Amino acid sequence: MKLSDRLIRKYYHLKKKFGWHSFYTPTPDTARGLKQAFKQTQSLAGDYYEFGLFEGYSFYRAIKLGKTWGQTAHYFGFDSFEGLPDVTGIDAGWRFKRGQYRSSLEEVTANLKSKNCLADNVYLIKGFYNESLKNKAKLNHLPLGPAKVVLIDSDLYESARDVLNFIYPYLQPGTAILFDDWNCFEADEQKGERRAWREFLALHPEIDTELTGYFGWGGAIFKVKKISA
């Protein structure tokens, strides 16, 4: 880990402890992963989807990168804005707990506003994924289109599974998919985002993907190579 990253994380924890108001991130590597993904997809038109915003820093970085590398139509941020759901099933017993990484919709909106990142093509969707990603009445009002870049920062298996099932019809050849917590649970293939991805690919053999890179200690980037008829 770079010295600058360690200082950022130290500052983040002090901020939380003493209630300082600022807008940063405890995982600066995610911004580097997003930069790699947007460069990788610069010739691909589509939308940006993020699942798990916390305070909204990576979402802000994605909006800035989308403007730099172009061809990004809309930005969709999905989050409960209440932190993690109950940690049950195969992911139970690790360090995650309900309410962890909580940041309210109002806080995230204020953070994005402070960076001039609120616009008509930016959407924040509130709700736990097992409900919000299945709420057709709400989703039908969104201009959801083909995915250019997808960031999955859901930590847990069940959440990642729900995200992948939702994003499936929006994938296209060239889509970049980032998993921010790829190595959580000590990189156990039977847990977390790794298990959700493996099961998703088994369920959809028509999707051909390749691993294109890593970011930080825990992130991975995949590219959709082709989707067979």
> What CATH number is attached to the domain comprising 209?
3.40.50.150
Buried b (16+ CB within 10 A) or exposed e, 34-73: bbbbbebbeebebbbbbbbbbbbbbbbbbbbbbeebeebe
Tell me, yes or no, whether 186 lies in a domain. Answer: yes
| Pair of tokens at residue 108 | 């995230």
Tell me, yes or no, whether 48 lies in a domain. Answer: yes
Question: Dihedral sign, CA of 51, 155, 29, 5?
Answer: positive
Tell me, yes or no, whether 101 lies in a domain. Answer: yes
Q: What is the C-alpha to C-alpha distance for residues 15 and 30, in angstroms, rounded to an integer? A: 20
- The domain of 183 spans 27-227
pLDDT (tens digit, 0 to 9) for every residue of the chain, 229 residues total? 444 445 545 555 555 555 555 566 667 899 999 999 999 999 999 999 999 998 899 999 999 999 998 889 999 999 988 866 666 666 566 666 665 667 789 999 999 999 999 999 999 999 989 999 999 999 999 999 999 999 999 878 888 999 999 999 999 999 999 999 898 777 888 888 999 999 999 999 999 999 999 998 889 999 999 999 8
pTM for this prediction: 0.88
Tell me, yes or no, whether 116 lies in a domain. Answer: yes
Tell me, yes or no, whether 205 lies in a domain. Answer: yes
HSE-CB at 29 with a 13 A cutoff on CA atoms is 22
Residue type at position 102: R
Buried b (16+ CB within 10 A) or exposed e, 102-140: ebebebbbebbeeeebeeeebbbbebbbeebbeeeeeee
Tell me, yes or no, whether 12 lies in a domain. Answer: no
Domain count across the chain: 1
For residue 121, give the nearest of 47, 42, 45, 34 by alpha carbon.
47
Tell me, yes or no, whether 197 lies in a domain. Answer: yes
Bridge partners of residue 215, in order along the sequence: 219
For residue 28, give the nearest of 179, 157, 180 by alpha carbon.
180
Tell me, yes or no, whether 13 lies in a domain. Answer: no
Q: What is the C-alpha to C-alpha distance for residues 173 and 222, in angstroms, rounded to an integer? A: 11
